[in-house]
Chains A and B, each alone.
Chain A
Amino acid sequence: MRSGSAGAWVLPPLLLLALLFFYPLLLIVREALGGDGQVPGLAHFGEVLGSRMFRSALWNTMVIAALSTVGCLVLGFVLSVLLAFTPFPGSRMVARLIDTFIALPTFLVALAFTFIYGSAGMINETFVHVLGVARPPVDFLYSQWGVILSEITVYTPFVMRPLLATFSQLDPAQIEVASSLGARALTIVRRIIFPAALPALIAGGSLCLLLTVNEFGIVLFIGAKDVITLPLLVYDLAIQQFDYASACIIAVVNIVLSLGLYTVYRFVLARYGRRRAGLV
């Protein structure tokens, strides 16, 4: 095909793309700026962004996303190192199983956790009925800790996948040479494995951060009263209070945050190369 005619071919899909993806985004931005094509109402913008409700949701979102991501990184790194370097019978199966978690809807874990840790869940039932404890002793689930635990469970595989790919490419001779030089397991993890894993950790971590900032299902399912995050706030304002203007303003903040994190993620991939980040 000649390059001159290429433009015409590309145009329809581009238009479709614009209609499907960018037009809705544009509507949100327009609504946020005052709606109805009026002069952009920056005053309302400031009002919403200055409100306690927004600032507390922003704070919650960032704390939950940051702690969940750190948890995913630590847990993912430890599990990946164990799976990759201390192979036991069935370790490949376990890795596959963890991988399939990526396919599951996120809120399922929150639902499962209510069965386990919830006020009428297995653990509390055991305490109340078998041991005769008066009130359910385990009640962390309906707080930000419940959200964080669920998010760590759901998103750790997203860190493990690039890590395991990286580790499978790590030359085992490096580890053997290191140990013949006198390095023990922890030194090898710290000085050989961790530096090799760094690109994958950064890539996996920024992906986690991106996903946890936008997490909606888990927060909704846990349903803790005082854990309101940005996506939940948007939902609350728009669907329950019909305050579309405020909802869209917060949505814009959420979009900016996401795009920023996404830029970091792409930057890391480009910087270290997809291969080294384990995302071949």
Chain B
Amino acid sequence: MKSPLGTGAAAYRAVAPAADRGSGIAFDGVSVAYGGVTVLEALTLTVNPGEIVALIGPSGSGKTTALRAVAGFVQPATGRIRIGTRDVTDVPPHDRNIGMVVQNYALFPHMRVDENVAFGLRARKAASALVAARVPEALAMVGMAAYARRFPRELSGGQQQRVAIARALAIKPQVLLLDEPLSALDAQIRRSMLDELARLHRELPDLTVLYVTHDQIEALTLADRIGIMRDGKLVAFGPAQALYRHPPNRFAAEFLGRANLLPVTGLEPAADGMARVRFGDVALTARNHHALPAGDECLLCVRPHDVHVEPHADTDNTLVAVVRSIQWQGDTQSVELALGEHVLRLACPPRLTLPGIGDPLPLHFRGTQATLVPVGAALG
């Protein structure tokens, strides 16, 4: 399928004023309270120019609130917010030069597609020649040039979302704020929109994006860095891969790609950043990425697809667990096992023959594919 994105991006970049290139977003100790209840607590986070940062977290964790603080729709009780070099904490929303896309698109229903896209330029009193040039560009960029004269109600959900993105980009915002932009779309369209957002960002590498979602796939696919929120606090923040491989705490490990977490004791640092630990009577090795001290109690984190049934020549970690359930999911089998009182999940190839429920199953994983996570740490 030929992507509709990209056609207008070169032209779009050509008219971008040099001054607009790359402004980051900086939260500096931002707290927000509603009626005495703190829903965002001393958030400090920087989105670098041209970077995509995803904020993920369970419902009610304060992701939207953080985004609305950048847009100027909630006033922080404490802290400052900067866009580029400008402190916008006390700047009204209409003066912040922000592009915003929300979950339900919020297109203006009585305006045609091109009027929707032109809205921001008109509101800023742009010359009509500029409007006439910019609107088709923005529409071409999202592959909606052919729909310029339609009304929003005459478009599908995915098409409405493209128009909402074009409308946000038409004003050449310093930063783009996206609040669960794909969650109203069905799974298949969501997948292709995700690819197109990624392509759009390759076409507009200077665009700084703050992306709120509760979908970890979206975050891992798009984001350079991911922030994980819980109860109004940022509990983990870092490059997407690093956060996935070496979660700094239990919550991050469980929220970003379900991890197996085994409580281990008697940490002994070893060579090459590895460490030996004990799980009950069993000796295991894992990466000690967070440089936990000797003798520490911690959690051993291993992803379900890194746990294997067939033995490897160099596996140093062996466990025997009891099969509790097997779910065949097409491209994988998801197996739940009991390891004493602990639950262990593994994902194995679909054709592998497994023992029945209640039977013991020997398991292996590589120490280099497991990592040690501190217990009770807030932010790693």
**Which residues of A are interface residues toward B (Cβ below 8 A)?**
171, 173-174, 176-184, 187, 191-192, 195-196
Q: Which of B38-46, B92-100, B248-256 is the contact stretch? A: B92-100
Nearest Cβ in chain A — how far from B116, in angstroms?
10
B104→A171 contact, CB < 8 A:
yes
Closest to B109 in A: A196
A176→B100 contact, CB < 8 A:
yes
A229 to B93, CA, bound (A): 51
Query: Does B71 have its Cβ within 8 Å of any Cβ on chain A?
Result: yes
B98→A178 contact, CB < 8 A:
no
Closest to B171 in A: A181
Decide: A184 near B94, CB < 8 A? Known: A173-B102, A191-B119: yes
Query: Does B375 have its Cβ within 8 Å of any Cβ on chain A?
Result: no
> What would 29 A/B residue contacts be, using CB atoms closer than 8 Å?
A171-B106, A173-B104, A176-B71, A176-B106, A177-B102, A177-B167, A178-B108, A178-B123, A179-B92, A179-B93, A180-B71, A181-B94, A181-B99, A181-B119, A181-B123, A181-B167, A181-B168, A182-B95, A182-B120, A182-B123, A183-B94, A183-B119, A183-B120, A183-B123, A184-B123, A191-B108, A191-B119, A195-B110, A196-B109
Contact pick for A179, options B94, B102, B124, B168, CB 8 Å: B94
What string of 1s and 0s marks CB contacts (under 8 Å) between B82-97 and chain A?
A: 0000000000111111
**Which residues of B are interface residues toward A (Cβ below 8 A)?**
71-73, 92-100, 102, 104, 106-110, 119-120, 123-124, 164, 167-168, 171, 177
The total number of A-B Cβ pairs within 8 Å is 65
A182→B104 contact, CB < 8 A:
no
Contacts of B109 in A (CB 8 A): 196
Contact pick for A180, options B96, B107, B108, B110, CB 8 Å: B96
Sorted from nearest, which 6 A-B pairs have the closest CB atoms?
A: A181-B120, A173-B106, A183-B123, A182-B123, A195-B110, A180-B100
A182→B171 contact, CB < 8 A:
yes
A196 to B93, CA, bound (A): 22
Nearest Cβ in chain A — how far from B328, in angstroms?
42
A262 to B102, CA, bound (A): 41
A182 to B99, CA, bound (A): 10
A176 to B104, CA, bound (A): 13
Contacts of A183 in B (CB 8 A): 94, 119-120, 123
A177 to B116, CA, bound (A): 11
Nearest Cβ in chain B — how far from A149, in angstroms?
34
Decide: A192 near B108, CB < 8 A? Known: A181-B171, A182-B124: yes
A122 to B119, CA, bound (A): 51
B100→A177 contact, CB < 8 A:
yes
Nearest Cβ in chain B — how far from A111, in angstroms?
42
Contacts of A180 in B (CB 8 A): 71-72, 93-94, 96, 98-100, 177
Contacts of A171 in B (CB 8 A): 104, 106
Contacts of A187 in B (CB 8 A): 123
Given contact pairs A173-B104, A176-B71, A191-B119, a sample of 17 additional A-B residue pairs in the complex whose CB atoms are under 8 Å apart:
A171-B106, A173-B102, A176-B73, A176-B93, A176-B100, A178-B119, A179-B93, A180-B71, A180-B93, A181-B99, A181-B100, A182-B95, A183-B94, A183-B119, A183-B123, A191-B108, A196-B109
A171 to B106, CA, bound (A): 7
A174→B119 contact, CB < 8 A:
no
A145 to B108, CA, bound (A): 40
Contacts of A196 in B (CB 8 A): 109-110
Closest to A196 in B: B110
Contacts of A174 in B (CB 8 A): 106-108
A174 to B167, CA, bound (A): 12
Contacts of B72 in A (CB 8 A): 180
A181 to B177, CA, bound (A): 12
Residue picked from A178, A180, A195, most chain B C-beta under 10 Å = A180
Closest to B126 in A: A182
Closest to A177 in B: B106
Contacts of A176 in B (CB 8 A): 71, 73, 93, 100, 102, 106
Contacts of B168 in A (CB 8 A): 181
Closest to A187 in B: B123
A176 to B64, CA, bound (A): 13
Closest to A173 in B: B106
Nearest Cβ in chain B — how far from A179, in angstroms?
4
A147 to B71, CA, bound (A): 48
Contacts of B120 in A (CB 8 A): 181-183
Contacts of B106 in A (CB 8 A): 171, 173-174, 176-177
A181 to B97, CA, bound (A): 7
Residue picked from B92, B96, B97, B120, most chain A C-beta under 10 Å = B120
A196 to B167, CA, bound (A): 19
